[in-house]
């Protein structure tokens, strides 16, 4: 039976670095996951709304602009407002170590930094969905 | 065309064959080679060794002499024997005052040119107090809303003496206008200002993805910058045609340069349509490429691109002035090659990349900071990066001979391969309907995404070794990296100045000029620069101008491919 994991990949804010997000989207798609990519320049709120509408298991947000400590809190806030607790939030990009710790404390399930091999990304997504259990 | 004449080519061929049958074969039975077939990073097959027989394939005129058509060996006859390349470390963070301090530090350390990195709101044409700017003001670069910020940024820096490169694209013409007004205020002669705005919008749609308006009005703005500078700022480069971002977005080195030349062709065609002669503006077209990790491939890439450019300008566009055929480029080491693990070894990566830029004949160079896989670089990281260039320039002696690798059997052969493939791609793009059409069809974007994906897979499998990442890993590594701190008061300081400017300016005048801007924008034959200069002189902000034009032209949204 197909695993049917649904993922929304997203870019928020003005950051245009999309090499990573598109590689990740393709790796997940090639691994058989159901992937949607928002394209660039979305607001944190738009991204959460799209994730809810698409009924995804995982929301992956890529940021290389240094604005992660502004963007992720807004995403968390919107998730709360929408009453969502079962979407797994993942982060990726150029993020300093101390911010990684802070973001995880905030509720981001995992931060996958640059040079994370594609197979590790796929495995991480599957593991997190498995650990969350069925909805 | 003349070729290298051998007295007895058959004898040479026989000797090579004999060598293969004896020495090579006997050695291979003892020890196999590391791979069945070797390739460059960009996928060009390379042979065991190259001989004079390979060199015979290259017409002697194609190699030529430095400073003479086809410029394979360099744009100038004496190159670094006269003057080293410009050491141009990019900097930008916080407000104008913050970056001004970094500039002065870099100049005091021996840097010879300035290069400005702007924050995302400035790059995308938003004012610092726009909701989209939240969290981004002064973060990845310096924040500029109005001329007042430019005054702070270049305070006490003599702009007639030092060249300033500004990395900015969809909003570049506004920054150029601000630079003009700043020069006016400080009493500088516009014809003595030397510098560059990047303003290469086509590669934004392809790769870097900083765009505001649809393609057509955006290209028109670039055209306007080029014609304005040709008439009013004789020493200024109105565009920096950039392969760098195409490469960093994931493309192959071949696509980096070939796509850049496709963009060149589009811009030149647009400017010529205004009636301007190619020799009036082509001498100020400038380029910007990356230097990646494959040492010889990068050098061949630079040499081949110079040759291809010379031919395009002469044969396709009928340029007659040699200056129009001489490709000058800035080079930057490859940011995406930098690693977090064992980050200090990034210094070594950067040094080799920089050496390939110098051996490839770059006119200016930025070497990356070792800590850039974490954040924007610290002062210490920038100093080491600058020292890397100074060591190459002053200790290694590589700068004493022009194109020291010219005539290398291998390098000339690879240069030829590169040039041929560049023209194959240009022909294909011509046949498929041209650059703008293919951008709209995501043709370039797909090629870039495919190569980025292949690279990620090659790193995963170890096919592409990256020391510290997939080889010689230190799982227990403790990072002791000190990062550039972000000053949390930046946005507030920046927004305060913007509000002050808005309060002090003559708002009726600004509104009238904004209406004038719309009129000019609606007339595709008009030049948008003069009215923009008037606007920023009166205190209009970047956001004022961009928002007004968004209403007229709309915005661009891409259909992403992956």
Q: Could you report the per-residue pLDDT of B284-318, keeping only the tens digit for each? A: 999 999 999 999 999 999 999 999 999 999 999 99
Give mean pLDDT, residues B259-286. Answer: 98
* Tokens 């009215």 belong to residue: B531
Q: What is the pLDDT of residues A19-61, one digit of tens each?
A: 999 999 999 999 999 999 999 999 999 999 999 999 999 999 9
Give mean pLDDT, residues B380-403. Answer: 97
The minimum CA-CA distance between A86 and chain B, rounded to whole Å, is 27
Q: What is the mean pLDDT of chain A?
A: 94
As for how many domains chain B has, the answer is: 1
Residue B140 in contact with partner chain A when CB distance is under 8 A = yes
Give mean pLDDT, residues B497-509. Answer: 97
Q: Strands B285-291, A34-37: parallel, antiparallel or unpaired by DSSP? A: unpaired
Q: Nearest CB to B136: which of A14, A39, A113? A: A14
Does the residue B419 lie in any domain? yes
Q: What is the pLDDT of residues B119-169, one digit of tens each?
A: 999 999 999 999 999 999 999 899 999 999 999 999 999 999 999 999 999
Cα B495 to Cα B35: distance, rounded to the nearest angstrom: 59
For B400-418, give the secondary structure using H, E and C. Answer: HCCCCCCCCHHHHHHHHHH
Global pTM reads: 0.96
pLDDT tops 70 at residue B57: yes
The minimum CA-CA distance between B208 and chain A, rounded to whole Å, is 6
Cα B323 to Cα B330: distance, rounded to the nearest angstrom: 17
pLDDT tops 70 at residue B533: yes
Q: Nearest CB to B375: which of A39, A96, A118? A: A96
Q: What is the pLDDT of residues B370-390, one digit of tens each?
A: 999 888 899 999 999 999 999
Cα B327 to Cα B45: distance, rounded to the nearest angstrom: 27
Do B135 and A69 count as a contact with CB atoms less than 8 A apart? Answer: yes
Give mean pLDDT, residues B10-32. Answer: 96
Cα B174 to Cα A129: distance, rounded to the nearest angstrom: 48
Does the residue B557 lie in any domain? no
Does the residue A54 lie in any domain? no
Confidence at residue B5, expressed as pLDDT on a 0 to 100 scale:
83
The CATH code of the domain that includes B105 is 3.20.20.240
Confidence at residue B171, expressed as pLDDT on a 0 to 100 scale:
98
Does the residue A79 lie in any domain? yes
Question: How open is the CA angle B464-A23-B205, to the nearest 5 degrees?
Answer: 110
Do B209 and A18 count as a contact with CB atoms less than 8 A apart? Answer: yes
Q: Is residue B261 within 8 Å of residue B307, measured between CB atoms?
A: no
Q: Strand, coil or helix: what is A91?
A: strand
Q: Nearest CB to A14: which of B121, B248, B559? A: B121
Residue A4 in contact with partner chain B when CB distance is under 8 A = no
Cα B179 to Cα B168: distance, rounded to the nearest angstrom: 13
Percent of chain B with pLDDT over 70: 100
Residue A43 in contact with partner chain B when CB distance is under 8 A = yes
Q: What is the mean pLDDT of chain B?
A: 96
Spell out the residues 6+ positions from residue B508 whose beta carbon is closer than 8 angstroms to its own. none
Q: Phi then psi for A36, rounded to 5 degrees?
A: -125, 140
Candidates B456, B462, B469, partner chain A, best to mutate (most A CBs within 10 A): B456
Element housing B525 (H / E): none
From A66-70, B275-279, B515-519, the region with the lowest mean pLDDT:
A66-70
Does the residue B499 lie in any domain? no
Confidence at residue B122, expressed as pLDDT on a 0 to 100 scale:
98
* Cis before A113? omega within 30: no
Confidence of residue A1 (pLDDT cuts 50, 70, 90): very low
pLDDT tops 80 at residue A62: yes
From residue B494, give the alpha-carbon distance in Å to each of A66, A69, B274, B540. Answer: 18, 19, 39, 15
The minimum CA-CA distance between A38 and chain B, rounded to whole Å, is 8
| Cα-Cα-Cα-Cα dihedral sign, residues A55, A36, A31, B471 | negative
Confidence of residue B97 (pLDDT cuts 50, 70, 90): very high
From residue A15, give the alpha-carbon distance in Å to each of B79, B135, B142, B442. Answer: 38, 11, 15, 20
**Residues spanned by the domain of A106:** 6-47+64-130
pLDDT tops 90 at residue B3: no
* In chain B, residues 342-381 whose CB comes closer than 8 Å to chain A: 373-376
Confidence at residue B6, expressed as pLDDT on a 0 to 100 scale:
86
Do B560 and A26 count as a contact with CB atoms less than 8 A apart? Answer: no
> Across the strands, what pairs with A111?
A91
Percent of chain B with pLDDT over 90: 92
Element housing B166 (H / E): strand B164-167
Candidates B135, B207, B485, partner chain A, best to mutate (most A CBs within 10 A): B135
- DSSP assignment, residue A42? B
Confidence at residue B374, expressed as pLDDT on a 0 to 100 scale:
86
pLDDT tops 90 at residue B480: no
pLDDT tops 70 at residue A2: no
Please count the CA atoms within 13 angstroms of the CA of B546 that sit on its side-chain side: 26
Q: Give the residue among B273, B133, B166, B276 at the shortest CA–CA distance from B177.
A: B166
Based on the number of CB atoms within 10 Å of its own CB, is B234 exposed (0-12), middle (13-18) or buried (19 or more)?
middle
Does the residue A56 lie in any domain? no
As for how many domains chain A has, the answer is: 1
- Beta strands, E only, chain A: 6-11, 34-37, 58-63, 88-93, 110-113
Confidence at residue B477, expressed as pLDDT on a 0 to 100 scale:
87
Residue A39 in contact with partner chain B when CB distance is under 8 A = yes
pLDDT tops 60 at residue A107: yes
Q: Look up residue B436 and give its two tokens.
A: 């703008």
Does the residue B195 lie in any domain? yes
Does the residue B25 lie in any domain? no
Residue A18 in contact with partner chain B when CB distance is under 8 A = yes
From residue B166, give the alpha-carbon distance in Å to each of B91, B116, B197. Answer: 10, 5, 5
Q: Is residue A55 within 8 Å of residue A6, measured between CB atoms?
A: yes
Does the residue B197 lie in any domain? yes
Does the residue A68 lie in any domain? yes
Does the residue B130 lie in any domain? yes
Q: Nearest CB to B135: which of A13, A96, A114? A: A13
Cα B552 to Cα B339: distance, rounded to the nearest angstrom: 44
pLDDT tops 80 at residue A115: yes
Does the residue B6 lie in any domain? no
Cα B196 to Cα B366: distance, rounded to the nearest angstrom: 14
The CATH code of the domain that includes A119 is 3.40.50.280
Q: Nearest CB to A114: which of B123, B136, B340? A: B340
Q: What ipTM, to 2 d.p.?
A: 0.92
**Residues spanned by the domain of B221:** 60-461
Chain A residues inside the 8 Å CB shell of B470: 117
Confidence at residue A65, expressed as pLDDT on a 0 to 100 scale:
86
Q: Nearest CB to B452: which of A14, A19, A71? A: A19
Where residue B251 falls (left for φ over 0; alpha for ψ -120 to 50; beta otherwise) is: beta
Question: How open is the CA angle B527-B532-B538, to the nearest 5 degrees?
Answer: 150
């Amino acid at each position: 039976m197909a695993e049917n994991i649904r993922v929304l990949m997203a870019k928020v804010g003005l950051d245009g670095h999309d090499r990573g997000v598109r590689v990740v989207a393709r790796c997940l798609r090639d691994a058989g996951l159901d992937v949607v990519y928002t394209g660039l320049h979305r607001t944190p709120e738009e991204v959460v709304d799209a994730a809810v509408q698409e009924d995804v298991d995982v929301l992956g947000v890529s940021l290389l602009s240094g604005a992660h400590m502004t963007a992720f809190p807004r995403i968390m806030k919107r998730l709360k407002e929408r009453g969502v607790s079962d979407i797994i939030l993942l982060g990726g990009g150029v993020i300093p170590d101390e911010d990684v710790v802070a973001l995880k404390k905030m509720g981001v399930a995992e931060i996958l930094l640059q040079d994370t091999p594609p197979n590790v990304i796929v495995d991480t997504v599957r593991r997190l969905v498995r650990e969350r259990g069925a909805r | 065309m003349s070729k290298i004449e051998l007295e007895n080519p058959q004898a040479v061929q026989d000797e090579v064959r004999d060598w293969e049958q004896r020495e090579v074969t006997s050695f291979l039975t003892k020890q196999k080679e590391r791979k069945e077939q070797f390739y460059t990073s960009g996928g060009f097959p390379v042979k065991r060794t190259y001989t004079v027989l390979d060199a015979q394939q290259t017409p002697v005129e194609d190699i030529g002499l430095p400073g003479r058509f086809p410029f394979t060996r360099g744009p100038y006859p004496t190159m670094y024997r006269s003057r080293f390349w410009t050491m141009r470390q990019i900097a930008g963070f916080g407000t104008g005052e913050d970056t001004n301090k970094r500039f002065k530090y870099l100049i005091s350390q021996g840097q010879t040119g300035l290069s400005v990195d702007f924050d995302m709101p400035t790059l995308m044409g938003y004012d610092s107090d726009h909701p989209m700017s939240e969290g981004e003001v002064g973060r990845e670069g310096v924040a500029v809303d109005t001329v007042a910020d430019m005054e702070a940024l270049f305070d006490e820096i003599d702009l007639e003496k030092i060249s300033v490169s500004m990395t900015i694209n969809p909003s570049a013409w506004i920054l150029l206008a601000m630079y003009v007004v700043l020069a006016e205020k400080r009493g500088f002669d516009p014809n003595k200002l030397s510098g560059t705005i990047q303003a290469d919008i086509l590669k934004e749609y392809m790769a870097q993805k900083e765009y505001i308006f649809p393609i057509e009005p955006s290209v028109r703005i670039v055209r306007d910058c080029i014609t304005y500078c040709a008439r009013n700022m004789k020493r200024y480069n109105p565009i920096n045609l950039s392969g760098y971002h195409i490469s960093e977005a994931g493309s192959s080195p071949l696509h980096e340069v070939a796509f850049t030349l496709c963009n060149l062709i589009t811009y030149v065609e647009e400017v010529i349509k205004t009636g301007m002669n190619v020799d009036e503006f082509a001498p100020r077209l400038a380029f910007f490429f990356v230097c990646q990790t494959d040492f010889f491939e990068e050098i061949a890439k630079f040499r081949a691109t110079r040759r291809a450019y010379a031919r395009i300008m002469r044969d396709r566009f009928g340029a007659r002035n040699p200056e129009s055929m001489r490709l000058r480029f800035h080079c930057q080491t490859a940011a995406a090659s930098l690693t977090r693990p064992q980050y200090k070894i990034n210094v070594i990566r950067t040094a080799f990349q920089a050496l390939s830029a110098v051996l490839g004949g770059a006119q200016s160079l930025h070497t990356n900071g070792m800590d850039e896989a974490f954040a924007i670089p610290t002062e210490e990281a920038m100093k080491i990066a600058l020292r890397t260039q100074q060591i190459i320039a002053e200790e290694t002696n590589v700068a004493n001979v022009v194109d020291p690798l010219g005539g290398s059997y291998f390098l000339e052969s690879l240069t030829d391969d590169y040039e041929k493939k560049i023209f194959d791609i240009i022909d294909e793009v011509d046949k498929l309907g041209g650059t703008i059409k293919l951008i709209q069809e995501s043709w370039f974007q797909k090629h870039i995404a495919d190569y980025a994906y292949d690279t990620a897979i090659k790193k995963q499998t170890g096919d592409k070794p990256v020391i510290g990442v997939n080889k010689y890993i230190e799982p227990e590594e403790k990072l002791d990296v000190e990062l550039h701190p972000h000053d949390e008061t930046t946005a507030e300081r920046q927004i305060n100045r913007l509000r002050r400017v808005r309060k002090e300016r003559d708002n009726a005048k600004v509104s009238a000029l904004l209406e004038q801007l719309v009129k000019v924008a609606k007339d595709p034959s008009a030049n948008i620069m003069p009215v923009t200069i008037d606007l920023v002189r009166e205190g209009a902000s970047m956001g004022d101008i961009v928002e007004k034009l968004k209403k007229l032209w709309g915005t661009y949204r891409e259909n992403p491919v992956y």
